[in-house]
Structure 1
């Protein structure tokens, strides 16, 4: 009986420590870059609110990352201009954070090629879910795992059409590119 209890304890410990690893909101970061069609851009950050990664033998198997859109903030502006841009991004023209305070990415499929983890999953923004795929890299820092990557997202697929040449005419230098970039680093606890 002691042997069975010890075996079950070891299996449970292995399952918990190897598979479900909570994401550290403190040590994770997400940076974004949005572009105007004429070439200028805005940069900023958004916080990771919650999530977990399931990792086995150095490979990501599953996971969910929840982004806190209420924390959305530009980093290239200051003062009144920063407040205006932050407010506009949080408005219904863009993310409507009052109604949709989070965005979620759920990993559905992973293919590993060398050091590259090719992740495929469902991204939900503003109540709209679309499948996306991108490359990432998983490393280990002490007991923590770090997943890093870059994603290009077409905002119009999620209903963020404000300033898009594909939906509005005669925008000129006010046109905003449909795609924006996300550069992320999520770390487990």
Structure 2
């Protein structure tokens, strides 16, 4: 009986160690995560991004496929290459920061591809939520995680119709994450 009890305690301890050793969480912030956008129009383009965000990327061991990504962006931290545009981006016809101070992304599925990964998730922007797919290159090595991505979203999907016919509907985004455990 004591030997069986000892065996159960040993199995429980080993199982607990494996569960805790397999879960790794990388914290995201504006210091290690860069989110930039480029909006284009007939006579040029404007660049910008977001300075303040929080979130995490959780992986099982070094396996991102079983992971979870969550990011919350402080929309008041929006910036652009033009101060007047920055203020307009915070207005109701774009991000509507007063009524929608935070934007959020939560992954729902991560799948390997020949070029890296497809990260599917729900993006909430301007009070509207839509499922998007983000192609990414992700590396988990030792205590470091890097993620790089370039993709487009359609601003009309998030209720931003300002400049229809003048400003392109698709906005290019780049993500650059360099996180440590």
- Shared fold per TM-score greater than 0.5: yes
Structure-2 residue corresponding to 1:71: 77
Identify which of 150, 166, 174 aligns with 1:183. Answer: 174
Q: C-alpha separation between the residues in 1 aligned to 2:150 and 2:64?
A: 18
How many Å apart are 1:13 and its aligned residue? 3.0
Q: C-alpha separation between the residues in 1 aligned to 2:48 and 2:106?
A: 23
Q: Deviations over 1:8-58 (max 9, x none)?
A: 5523531443xx33224311101110011x141001121351111121333
Give me the CA root mean square deviation: 2.1
Q: C-alpha separation between the residues in 1 aligned to 2:16 and 2:29?
A: 26
Q: Which runs of 5+ in 1 are unaligned?
A: 76-81, 166-174
How many Å apart are 1:120 and its aligned residue? 1.2
8 Å Cα contact 1:103-1:123 kept in structure 2: yes
Structure-2 residue corresponding to 1:169: none
Identify which of 45, 58, 61 aligns with 2:63. Answer: 58
Structure-1 residue corresponding to 2:50: 46
How many Å apart are 1:5 and its aligned residue? 6.9
Q: C-alpha separation between the residues in 1 aligned to 2:136 and 2:19?
A: 29
How many Å apart are 1:140 and its aligned residue? 3.4
Structure-2 residue corresponding to 1:133: 133
Q: Which runs of 5+ in 2 are unaligned?
A: 1-5
SS of aligned partner of 1:104: strand
